[in-house]
Structure 1
Amino acid sequence: MNGGPSGFHNAPVTKAFVITSGLFTVFFGIQGRSSKLGLSYQDIFEKFRIWKLILSTFAFSSTPEMMFGLYLLYYFRVFERQIGSNKYAVFILFSGAISLVLEVIQLALLKDTTANLLTSGPYGLIFASFIPFYLDIPVSTRFRVFGVKFTDKSFIYLAGVQLLLSSWKRSIIPGFCGIIAGSLYRMNILGIRKAKFPEFVTSFFSRLSLPSFSSSPPPAPSRNIVGTIAPNTGRRVERPQPAPMASSVEPSEEAIATLVSMGFDRNAARQALVHARNDVNAATNILLEAQSH
């Protein structure tokens, strides 16, 4: 389960956000200031360090948190492909702003002036993304490990739990604030799900972010070599034979029904499953890619 085609294809906003978050984290980590980016009651209500509100939404406070956080942000790029970059930029702004407001309210209620109460990082966006992940991404594989049932979505949930508990109370509060923000977006408060930025905004992100590394070209198809004896020379000549065509995989009715229940056309769902060899997740990404064009 990889969230669709590799790289940031059709996800320029995610690409810019991941690069920015990574650079901010590395920059403040080199300076030894990452642990000081967390929000506290004293910073906001006594010293009025408003700049911390912005920095705390980008830079993670530790390398392990950055690794899990950027992995989840990279995976959740599938939602930008699904709703489009213009709407996804609104989702980022809405989830980040609502989560930040909820965190400030929590600081005001707790009034803890002894330490940085809340850890830094884009927890609002990450945990808001778990709402559509839970509701919209189907399970395609189930398996057991030591008798315990798992699905292909379990690894994403485990990464989320690890990030949520990485700093205990300091990370749990921002995580739950993000879940609330994602729920409000899902409920379409004030029609937020229809809002989108102008086209030039996403074009700016496309130009701003660093170019993706191009993937290596696919290997040439294998050929069967058949040896024959050329007349009059007695020399053996190798003659290439075309490789046999791979047989198509007939999609299951269960897989088709899963895609149809998500709102896709039945014929389009069947064709996508044929191309994806009955992999529901891959077929979903194919259909989403087709819709984005």
Structure 2
Amino acid sequence: MQGGVSGFQNAPVTRAVVLASGLLSVVFSAQRRARALGLSYQGIVKNFRLWRIFASALAFQSTPELMFGLYLLYYFRVFERQIGSNKYSVFSLFTVSVSSVLEILSLVLLKDTNYVSALASGPYSLIFASFIPFFLDIPVTSRFRIIGVNFSDKSFIYLAGLQLLLSSWKRSLIPGICGLIAGSLYRLNVLGIRRMKMPRVISSFFARIFEPTSGGSSRPSRSLVGNMTSRTTRVVQNQPPSGFAPVVEPSESSIAMLVSMGFDGNAARQALVRARNDINAATNILLEAQSP
């Protein structure tokens, strides 16, 4: 199962988060201050520092957490391509803010117990909030068995998430759960958050800074759907392009699966025709066509 075209093309927000998370993790680890980044009741209430909250939301405390965390952030860039960088920025800010508030509340509630003294640091909120649309919107396209155990093409992502969730046991479990709650609140459109957008000036500024260059290659054409329509018309007229075999009409179940992900039915049919009924490839085509 693929996360779309390679690299950070059309995913500048994800690129910024991955770069910031990786850089801060390395810097604090080199200074042997990584373990002090996690939020704690004493650090928030008695020794409050704004930079601690910012660093805690981005920098991982160990190499395994960094590896799994950056992998998941990179994979979930597919959602930025699907909803656009502007709305994905709102999604990121909302989930990080809500999760941070929930984490602080959990520390206040547990301050008189020995359950946990400090939480793990890192972008747990954004990662686990992204598991909500991953679970609800990304369909299973293949299943297989290993040593009698059933798996799907989504299983590895779930296993990577489980590894990250339990990496520091109670210290990482609470931030992960808070991220899931924040993602669920966004999904439920609390306070109409899904209709909100970042001011154009801010979104344009960050897009110019963090949008990766493609080394001379052009950005995906906005006429991609139109090109698919042209090719589809030629196939329907039984005039396949030179060097290509006629394409079989997509099944209604495949079209319905793409429609359930939020794509237009006609565009889904055209994408399946171009991808030769490969749902993963068709999804990538549709995401590229929707990119701003």
TM-score w.r.t. structure 1 length?
0.85
Tell me what 1:238 maps to: none
Q: Is residue 128–residue 179 contact of structure 1 (8 Å, CA) maintained in 2?
A: yes
Tell me what 2:199 maps to: 198
What's the RMSD between the two structures over aligned residues? 2.2
- In the TM superposition, residue 284 of structure 1 has moved relative to its aligned partner by 1.9
Work out the CA distance in 1 between the residues paired with 2:173 and 2:200: 35
Alignment of 1:170-189 (within 5 A): 170-189=171-190
Work out the CA distance in 1 between the residues paired with 2:136 and 2:253: 18
Describe the shift of the 1:96–1:249 C-alpha distance in structure 2 as closer, same or farther (beyond 3 A): same
SS at structure 1 position matched to 2:179: helix
Describe the shift of the 1:71–1:213 C-alpha distance in structure 2 as closer, same or farther (beyond 3 A): farther
- In the TM superposition, residue 215 of structure 1 has moved relative to its aligned partner by 9.9
Work out the CA distance in 1 between the residues paired with 2:171 and 2:155: 24
Describe the shift of the 1:269–1:211 C-alpha distance in structure 2 as closer, same or farther (beyond 3 A): closer
Q: Which runs of 5+ in 2 are unaligned?
A: 218-241
Tell me what 1:225 maps to: none
Tell me what 2:274 maps to: 275
> Percent identity over the alignment?
67
Q: Write the letter of the residue equivalent to 1:67.
A: M
Tell me what 1:143 maps to: 144
Q: Is residue 8–residue 212 contact of structure 1 (8 Å, CA) maintained in 2?
A: no
SS at structure 2 position matched to 1:78: helix
Q: Is residue 12–residue 212 contact of structure 2 (8 Å, CA) maintained in 1?
A: no
Describe the shift of the 1:206–1:255 C-alpha distance in structure 2 as closer, same or farther (beyond 3 A): same
Tell me what 1:78 maps to: 78
Tell me what 2:127 maps to: 126
Alignment deviations for residues 215-262 of structure 1 (CA, whole Å, 9 cap, x no partner): 99xxxxxxxxxxxxxxxxxxxxxxxxxxx8242552333212212333
Tell me what 1:231 maps to: none
- In the TM superposition, residue 265 of structure 1 has moved relative to its aligned partner by 3.2
Q: Is residue 14–residue 80 contact of structure 1 (8 Å, CA) maintained in 2?
A: yes
Query: Does residue 56 of structure 2 align to residue 65 of structure 1?
Result: no
Work out the CA distance in 1 between the residues paired with 2:19 and 2:48: 28
SS at structure 1 position matched to 2:144: strand
Q: Write the letter of the residue equivalent to 1:261.
A: S
Query: Does residue 25 of structure 2 align to residue 30 of structure 1?
Result: no
- In the TM superposition, residue 152 of structure 1 has moved relative to its aligned partner by 0.8
Work out the CA distance in 1 between the residues paired with 2:27 and 2:213: 21
- In the TM superposition, residue 279 of structure 1 has moved relative to its aligned partner by 2.2
Q: Write the letter of the residue equivalent to 1:99.
A: S
Q: Give the total of aligned pairs.
A: 267
Work out the CA distance in 1 between the residues paired with 2:82 and 2:269: 19
Tell me what 2:5 maps to: 5
Work out the CA distance in 2 between the residues paired with 1:262 and 1:89: 20
Residue of 243, 246, 249 corresponding to 1:245: 243
Which has the greater radius of gyration? 1
Q: Write the letter of the residue equivalent to 1:149.
A: N
Tell me what 2:263 maps to: 264
- Where is the strand percentage greater, Structure 1 or Structure 2? 1
Tell me what 1:152 maps to: 153
SS at structure 1 position matched to 2:57: coil
Q: Which runs of 5+ in 1 are unaligned?
A: 217-243
Work out the CA distance in 1 between the residues paired with 2:216 and 2:31: 34
- In the TM superposition, residue 292 of structure 1 has moved relative to its aligned partner by 2.8
Q: Is residue 36–residue 116 contact of structure 1 (8 Å, CA) maintained in 2?
A: no
Work out the CA distance in 2 between the residues paired with 1:89 and 1:175: 20
